[in-house]
Amino acid sequence: MTLRKWMITMVLAVAAISIAGCSSGDESDKNDEPKQEEKDQSKDQENNEPSQELSSDDDLQKTLKQEDEVKKAMVQLVEGEDKESVNIDIQLKAEKEWNDDLKTKYQDIIRNKYPDKPVDIIIAQDGTKLDQYQLD
């Protein structure tokens, strides 16, 4: 007789757990709707912010790549309503060493092209950032 009572108790417990588990799914559906509204609101806010346009300067990029110590170069122009700036990433070849002479050399090349714009420069080698500085 105890085995039968134990089986009935287990069946009732499993049924209660199943019902509770299924009913919690309804609550998650209700919670999804506000999340979607929050996403829509954040998209609207992004659309209201001033937009920035990105482009590349292939001429300066080629000029930098022609330097003996440069493995790769990327030049990105950021044009917004209020300001314009330039982002430059230079990756040096593995056998080359970063020094002040190279820094001055690149500053001169970049300033000839962009004398009045702020320029952010990152120098890397083998996946390691060696230097990061800004020309104002």
Residues 6-39 pLDDT 10s: 888 888 888 878 777 766 555 555 555 555 666 5
The answer on 45 and 72 residing in a single domain is no
Q: Which of 91, 53, 97, 102 has its CA nearest to residue 110?
A: 102
Q: Where are the alpha helices (DSSP H) in 49-88?
A: 58-65
Q: Is the pLDDT of residue 93 over 80?
A: yes
Percentage of the chain modeled with pLDDT above 70 = 77
**CA-to-CA dists, residue 43 to 24, 40, 78, angstroms:** 30, 5, 21
Q: What pLDDT band is residue 91 in, cutting at 50, 70 and 90?
A: very high
Q: Are residues 44 and 65 in the same domain?
A: no
* pTM assigned to the model: 0.60
Q: How many domains does the chain have?
A: 2
Domain containing residue 125: 53-135
Please give the Cα distance from 127 to 99 (Å, whole number). 18
> What is the distance of C-alpha 114 from the center of its chain?
26
If asked whether residues 1 and 38 sit together in one domain, one would say yes
The pLDDT of residue 23 is 65
d(CA 62, CA 68): 12
Has residue 47 got a pLDDT over 70? Answer: no
Task: State the average pLDDT for the chain.
Answer: 80
43 and 94 both lie in a single domain = no
Q: Are residues 64 and 119 in the same domain?
A: yes
- Asked if residue 121 and residue 87 are part of one domain, the reply reads yes
Tell me: do 6 and 72 sit in the same domain.
Answer: no
**Whole-angstrom Cα distance, residue 135 to residue 40?**
38
| Residues 100 and 40 grouped into a single domain | no
Question: Are residues 36 and 76 located together in one domain of the fold?
Answer: no
Are residues 108 and 80 both part of a single domain?
yes
From 99, 80, 95, select the one nearest 126 (Cα to Cα).
Answer: 95
Q: Which residues pair with 18 in a beta bridge?
A: none
The reply to whether 36 and 69 lie within a common domain is no
